[in-house]
Amino acid sequence: MRKNRSILTFILISVLLVPLVSAADTTNYFYRLDYTFENMGDEDFPLEQEDYTLPLFLNNTWQSVTILNRSGDFTRAVIDLDGNLGIIMDVDDILAPGESLSFGIEYLIESKPQERPSFSMAEAEGFNEIPPDLVSEYTGHTESFTVDDPTITDVAKRAAKGDETVLGTVANLLDYVTQNTTYCNFETPRYPLDTLSDSLGDCDDQSILLISMARSLGIPAYLKVGVIIHPNIVDSDTSWEGHLENDADGIGWHGWVMIYIPPWGWVPVDLTLIDEDTGLDYIINSPEYDPNIIEALNVSEQAYIGDTVITRERIIASDLHVTIIDEAGEVYRNGLGAETYLILVIGSALAVAIFMMFRASARDQ
């Protein structure tokens, strides 16, 4: 009987743990994105292509995003200078007075945790170890990353403190930005000089400032935009002078920095999702290695700030009302939710345990 109990214990633990261990490797999420445009005026409103373009997320070795459902037909096209793909919905682009247009998409996201590097100043390398092609592609002046601004350049040089390693320099830049910038949410992304001037900015504002400072020193950097999926995220707000309504359940959009630090290569740096004591800690503890942060698009050459400002001004000047609904959550085996899945796992384990107990008792009689 003692041997049978040992076998029983092993089976019970195995049944309980195997599904949980396999689930820990890859996490599945659903994400539903719905748009509604309503013309509240008395004249026709022409929609721009950007209004009815939906994002196609990035696919790589740690995340895979596929379309589960969509409303209507679409064509696939490159939507920006950085090669990000989107879905151009097949819709009537003229909204008559009082007319509304709704469309949406649902994604299945499979995400794995990324391996977190072991950063140390002892292994840090100098600027000569940055590949020249990356310097050429990711350190230039753009509409959003104002590298040539003398104020940005001067502040970056002073903040770098003459460190000869890329890791040390980036850590010093992070010290400066995080200690001299307070989080404040704005309706459109801000130019780095504006963030620097009033010491206010949200996730992409602070990221854009850091990227501009890093680029001015010859360190490759660009902006990554994606989503955070977490059940505690619930938000509803109206902006753009009442023309834009956003409702989010379980998901929030977020921006962070991708920066090249030899010998570790491209690494994510988050300035607002965590609160650390030093710039090096921000690099070491970046949350972007976790599976619930999903990459959507890269921002390097496109007019990320200017295009958003133009869109806001166009919508505000119209009688258009836009509603965006985001909903996301974790998907378990067979599409079950977390609580249902856990109940079934425990129930199955108990059933196996009871069966084995009766079987063991029968053998002992």
What is the pLDDT averaged over residues 27-42? 97
Domain range for 143 is: 121-234+245-304
Residue 241 identity: E
Q: What is the residue-wise DSSP string for 219-258?
A: --EEEEEEEEEEEEEEEEEEETTTTEEEEEEEEEEEEEEE
Instruction: Tell me the pLDDT tens digit for each residue of 268-318.
Output: 999 999 999 999 999 999 999 999 999 999 999 999 999 999 999 999 999
Whether the pLDDT of residue 8 is over 90: the answer is no
Answer whether residue 92 is part of any domain.
no
Residue 225 located in a structural domain: yes
The answer to the question of residue 291 being in a domain is yes
What span, in angstroms and rounded, lies between the C-alpha atoms of 122 and 126?
12
- 2 has pLDDT over 50: no
- The whole-number pLDDT of residue 355 equals 44
Q: Model confidence over 165-176: pLDDT tens digits? A: 999 999 999 999
| 320 is a domain residue | no
Is 229 a member of any domain? yes
207 in a structural domain: yes
Does the structure show a pLDDT above 70 at 327? Answer: yes
Q: Is residue 256 part of a domain?
A: yes
Three-class DSSP category at 239:
strand
CATH no. for residue 173? 3.10.620.30
When divided into structural domains, the chain yields a total of 1
54/74 Cα distance (integer angstroms) = 10
- Is residue 56 assigned to a domain? no
